[in-house]
Amino acid sequence: MTLLSVRGISKRFGGLQAVSDLSFDVAAGSIKALIGPNGAGKTTIFNLISGFLPPDCGEIVFGGAEIHGMSSCEVAARGMVRTFQHIRLFPKMTVLENIMVGRHIHSRAGFLAGMLNLPFTWGEERRIREKSFEIMELLGIGAHAGTEAISLAYGQQRVVEVGRALACEPKLLLLDEPAAGLNMRETNEMGRLISRIREMGVTVLLVEHDMSLVMKISDEVVVVSYGEKIAEDRPLAIQKNREVIRVYLGDDA
Amino acid sequence: MARRYLPVAAFAGLIVAIQLATFFTGTAYHLTQLTMTAYYSLVTVGLCMLIGYAGQISLGHAGFFAIGGYVTAFLTTCNLKLHPGVLVSVLEKSGLLVARSDAYGGSLLTVHPWPACGVAILLAVVIAYLVGGPVLKLKGHYLAMATLGFGIIVYRMVLGTEFLGSADGISDVPGFPLLSGMLITGNSSARVSNYYLAWGLVILGMVLLLNLIHSRVGRALAAVHGAEDAAGAMGIPTARYKLNTFVLSAVFAALAGVLLTHYNGGIGPSEAGVMKSVRYVAIVAIGGMANLWGALSMSLVLNYLSLRGYFGTYDDAVFGVILILIMLFAPDGLLRRHILSDLKRAVSRNPAEEEAS
Ligand SMILES: Nc1ncnc2c1ncn2[C@@H]1O[C@H](COP(=O)(O)OP(=O)(O)O)[C@@H](O)[C@H]1O
Ligand SMILES: [Mg+2]
């Protein structure tokens, strides 16, 4: 079953065609990777899919509904949640509070209920807290619950960001270079975490530069270069694809 | 919860202590300025929510105060000159209109303060939505300029509108009757009750705002303040949350405007002035931005000193200077934990390092 279907999307920035006529599908329950050289347009594709930028043309169907033109917050509410290539944790908030924000779409206390401290919000807050602790335990960051998130080591900040996204209980999780800046041990752990997330029933679309990580965990790989798709296949086949090798190693290869 | 409400109880104790002190020292006349301070504090804490927690600046909140004050002043003083008839008596009976005599003994038919207050707040809400919708799409300096522009428009309008009294403003505004038979009025006989009423309202407002910042919405606002794009990615409707906070702070300002106008018996254009807006922002800034208690205590001290005339002819200048100094030396405000270490760092900072970095 297809969870996300991208059909012919394009995006132009002034004179630069960042994404052109790009199509691919993501099957429910799979891990799909999006790879390509720097500046190929991978982050832009994420921005288009997740409602941060409107595509110039094309269709994006998520969970059977057209989401083209929706805002990032509407897209998130439908169950597609992303992380950022450059970590975007909430400053001045603890790890726990960062993760609790992830429960936003699953709770409902509004301005009035909050100001009046209505009794129904007490149980809701307690459940938000419990679920957040559950996620922190799962990721092994429970000991840092009370620490300011942005004061953690870089690798742990990445984990917190993934945890915050997981707290949304997404159907589809978009990870933009989750292993960037991590050392080898941390990268391996991130790989295991992503596989575990898939086992929890979350579909994953991943942008990543670490090829061994990509080849190890993904079911399918899409390769983009200058905003165009040049290959889409299983990891083993991608590694043998002449066009992909040319893009990655230069014309002489 | 205890940590949230304990300071509230302590503050209530302080309010009582101040009243007792004025009673025993025979300085009860100070209560007048302290009551006015309470209403200005209502504006300040509302604005603190907007600036400190939602991260949106407004240099136009005196405009919302003036909208509240002028609407109620106009409606409760303007003689409707309706011919007596069934409709008028029905409106009078229902409490919407009230007949009274003016200062010269003539008879007057005006809107009752309660519906006038309702109209004033409603108008402030509508204007806040209309202004905030487009303006809050702006960030930083641009938002500051746009809200400043709004404040200037309100100021020029009240100054240039004849039926709002132009440069004189509106006077002879009646007291605001409450259910218990109490009256919001500046009469010295009602000084103590008005003092407690005004500060009671501030405390109520504080409880509402403290609840809000400790709620799901407060967390979402902190997220919007800290990393707006990431907040959007978590499904928080960032634009709507910013707008709601803007409207909420406008309601605090307008309500303060309504009640202080009834307390003072009138309002003048200076209440809508840009320097009033700057003053509110300066107090929020010196209180530590995201610090409701800081804003409230600074408001209590500075407004009181200002209203008692301690700043003399430099009144406005004092607040301008405060704002500049805070921005230069302590952009997170004076009332915060690390002030000592920050000062040490500022003193020991050497110029060579500055150049290198
Ligand atoms: N908002 C933007 N405005 C203008 N150009 C952009 C914008 N975002 C990305 N680009 C450009 O689009 C191209 C693709 O960028 P990006 O999607 O970040 O690539 P990748 O993530 O594959 O490294 C780059 O040349 C980049 O400079
Ligand atoms: Mg990128």
Dist. CA A192–CA A208, nearest whole Å: 15
Residue to substitute from A86, A87, A104, interface B, most B β-carbons within 10 A: A104
Specify whether A230 is located in the same domain as A165.
no
Domain contains B5: no
Domain contains B209: yes
Task: Select from A169, A203, A218 the last residue of a domain.
Answer: A169
Q: To 5 degrees, how large is the angle CA B342–CA B343–CA B346?
A: 85
Average pLDDT of the residues in B139-145: 92
User: Of A164-173, A216-225, B327-336, B340-349, which range is least confident?
Assistant: B340-349
Asked if B222 lies within 8 A of A125 by C-beta distance, the reply is no
Nearest by CB: B234 against A91, A97, A104? A104
Given a cut of 80, whether residue B349 has pLDDT beyond it is no
Distance A40 CA to ligand 1 centre (A): 8
SS3 B185: coil
pLDDT of residue B85: 79
Domain, as residue range, for B291:
11-18+29-335
Write the pLDDT tens digit of every residue in B261-290. 999 999 999 999 999 999 999 999 999 899
Q: How confident is the model at residue B80 (pLDDT cuts 50, 70, 90)?
A: confident
The total domain count for chain A is 2
Domain contains B343: no
Domain contains A205: yes
Specify whether A193 is located in the same domain as A245.
yes
**Residue A76: CB atoms within 10 Å:** 27
User: Which of B 248-307 lie inside 8 A of A, CB atoms?
Assistant: 248, 290
Dist. CA A230–CA A37, nearest whole Å: 12
**Predicted ipTM of the assembly:** 0.94
A124 CB near a chain B CB, below 8 Å? yes
Share of chain B above pLDDT 90, in %: 78
Task: Select from A152, A169, A186 the last residue of a domain.
Answer: A169
Residue A44 Cβ inside 6 Å of ligand 1? The answer reads yes
The total domain count for chain B is 1
Given a cut of 60, whether residue B226 has pLDDT beyond it is yes
What's the Rg (C-alpha) of chain B?
Answer: 22
Specify whether A130 is located in the same domain as A247.
no
- Beta strand ranges found along A73-202 (DSSP E): 80-82, 172-176
Q: How is residue A11 written in tokens?
A: 């995006």
Specify whether A38 is located in the same domain as A147.
no
Q: Which helix (H) or strand (E) holds B211?
A: helix B191-213
Specify whether A142 is located in the same domain as A185.
no
Domain contains B4: no
Q: What's A19's domain CATH number?
A: 3.40.50.300
Residue B208: its chain A contacts at CB < 8 A? Answer: 115-116
Specify whether A16 is located in the same domain as A94.
no
Residue having the nearest C-alpha atom to atom 14 of ligand 1: A41
pTM beyond 0.80: the answer is yes
Asked if A90 lies within 8 A of B223 by C-beta distance, the reply is yes
Given a cut of 70, whether residue A132 has pLDDT beyond it is yes
Domain contains B308: yes
- Beta strand ranges found along B234-318 (DSSP E): 266-267
Write the pLDDT tens digit of every residue in A46-76. 999 999 999 999 999 999 999 988 999 999 9
Asked if B216 lies within 8 A of A107 by C-beta distance, the reply is yes
Contact in structure between B229 and A84 (CB atoms under 8 Å): yes
Share of chain A above pLDDT 70, in %: 98
pLDDT of residue B107: 82
Asked if B230 lies within 8 A of A125 by C-beta distance, the reply is no
Specify whether A128 is located in the same domain as A57.
no
Domain contains B65: yes
Specify whether A112 is located in the same domain as A235.
no
Own/partner pairs for B142-146, CB < 8 Å, 24+ apart? B143/B56, B143/B57, B143/B58, B144/B57, B144/B59, B145/B59
Strand A16-27 and strand A2-13: the pairing is: antiparallel
Dist. CA A122–CA A127, nearest whole Å: 9
Q: Which residues contact B158 (CB under 8 A, 6 or more apart)?
A: B66, B70, B164, B169, B269, B272
pLDDT of residue A59: 96
Distance A34 CA to ligand 2 centre (A): 10
pLDDT of residue B86: 79
Rounded to a whole number of angstroms, the distance between the first and last alpha carbons of chain A is: 38
Contact in structure between B47 and B281 (CB atoms under 8 Å): yes
Specify whether A165 is located in the same domain as A96.
yes
Dist. CA B20–CA B18, nearest whole Å: 5
Closest by Cα among A215, A211, A210, A214 to A236: A215
Specify whether A132 is located in the same domain as A194.
no
pLDDT of residue A230: 94
Residue A42 Cβ inside 6 Å of ligand 1? The answer reads yes
Nearest residue of chain B to residue A174 (CA atoms): B233
Specify whether A165 is located in the same domain as A186.
no
Residue A190 CA, chain-centre distance (Å), reads: 13
Q: How confident is the model at residue B353 (pLDDT cuts 50, 70, 90)?
A: very low
pLDDT of residue B340: 56
Given a cut of 90, whether residue B99 has pLDDT beyond it is no
Domain contains A84: no
Residue A54 Cβ inside 6 Å of ligand 1? The answer reads no
Distance B172 CA to ligand 2 centre (A): 66
* Residue to mutate, A19, A22, A38, A43, ligand 1, most ligand atoms under 8 Å from C-beta: A43
B79 CB near a chain A CB, below 8 Å? no
Contact in structure between B283 and B296 (CB atoms under 8 Å): no
* Residue to mutate, A13, A206, A225, A230, ligand 1, most ligand atoms under 8 Å from C-beta: A13
Q: How confident is the model at residue B333 (pLDDT cuts 50, 70, 90)?
A: low
Specify whether A113 is located in the same domain as A159.
yes
Residue B288 CA, chain-centre distance (Å), reads: 17
Given a cut of 80, whether residue B357 has pLDDT beyond it is no
Q: How confident is the model at residue A182 (pLDDT cuts 50, 70, 90)?
A: very high
Task: Select from A121, A151, A169 the last residue of a domain.
Answer: A169
Contact in structure between B301 and B64 (CB atoms under 8 Å): no
Domain, as residue range, for A131:
89-169
